[in-house]
Amino acid sequence: MARVKGGPYGYRRHKKVLKLTKGQYGTRSKLFRRANEAMLKSLWYSYRDRRVRKRDLRKLWIARINAAARLNGISYSRLVYAMRQANINLNRKVLADLAVRDPKAFSAVVEKAKAA
């Protein structure tokens, strides 16, 4: 049986892969087989890292809140517990933003939580 090469469709597929890997180093952007490997790997990394980004941001927010809380004489875990008791419903993103941009407002939140 004759070998089927794909003709214009194969060419189109190769061009699509090479376009996706433009900017990669060496043969990863020039040769189809290496480019295809690079493309599959980079698409997997981007899929995975869209999920990892959320974890990383949460870790960053917690670190910022903890640092600011300790400046106000309380640890992160005690602050979160005190806020829950005082019924202060601010998420970590907003709290971290307050801690960085408006330390006075953050201190007010801490004092309110401590009082409860």
Q: Could you read off the pLDDT of 91-107 as tens digits, one per residue? A: 999 999 999 999 999 99
Kindly state whether residue 78 falls inside one of the protein's structural domains: yes
Kindly state whether residue 1 falls inside one of the protein's structural domains: no
pLDDT for the residue numbered 6: 85
Kindly state whether residue 54 falls inside one of the protein's structural domains: yes
pLDDT for the residue numbered 5: 82
Kindly state whether residue 110 falls inside one of the protein's structural domains: yes
Domain total of the chain = 1
Contact 92, 62 (CB under 8 A): yes
Q: Would you say the pTM of this structure is higher than 0.85? A: no
CATH number at residue 62: 1.10.1900.20
Q: Which regions in the chain score pLDDT beneath 70?
A: none
Q: What is the mean pLDDT of the chain?
A: 95
Question: What is d(CA 116, CA 102) in angstroms, rounded to the nearest whole number?
Answer: 22
Summarize pLDDT for 23-36 with one digit per residue, the tens.
999 999 999 999 99
